[in-house]
Amino acid sequence: MDFYKRMELVCQRIPRGKVASYGQIALLCGMPRHARQVGYALGKGLAGAEGVAHRIVNARGILSGAAAFESPDLQKRLLEQENVVVEWTKDGWRVDMRQFGWHNTMEEAEELYALFQILGI
DNA sequence: GCACTGACGCGGG
DNA sequence: TCCCGCGCCAGTG
């Protein structure tokens, strides 16, 4: 069971133009309640998710990781570049999860789990 | 081993 | 819907 390797596979499956939450990533990795470790891994540059890290937001759609990017609005710009609408709220930059959330299917989850088994991670 | 930290989540009101 | 408080757990020193 290698959490970070699983994270890499999961993160790279987030479709362009969609976002996923930390808890959702943890769940797909087969590690419920590990949302904070997902954030830790992204911040440390583990999990090889550099290219798609901007697609990870919290459960409410808030870009909580803005401070971890080189410039404060980099994550927002990367998302807008993928046609994701980001709006300002009193809590910070936010994405509408109903519209842009990655609503993965049971099939995708099972497919990932099978892949983990094959790769032995 | 212990205490503290943090890109978080959720249930209740 | 929003706000609040508590729960969570690998890393770190």
**DSSP per-residue letters across A55-70:** GEE-TT-B-GGGGGSS
How many C-alpha atoms does A83 have within 13 Å on its Cβ side? 4
Nucleic strand B under 7 Å from the C-beta of A37: yes
Question: Do the Cβ atoms of A106 and A82 come closer than 8 Å?
Answer: no
pLDDT per residue as tens digits for the range A20-67: 999 999 999 999 999 999 999 999 999 888 899 999 999 999 998 777
Stated pTM of the model: 0.95
Report the nucleotide nearest the CA of residue A27, measured to C1'. B9
pLDDT score at A102: 97
Nucleotides of B under 7 A from a protein CB: 6-10
Report the nucleotide nearest the CA of residue A33, measured to C1'. C8
Question: Do the Cβ atoms of A116 and A6 come closer than 8 Å?
Answer: yes
Nucleic strand C under 7 Å from the C-beta of A88: no
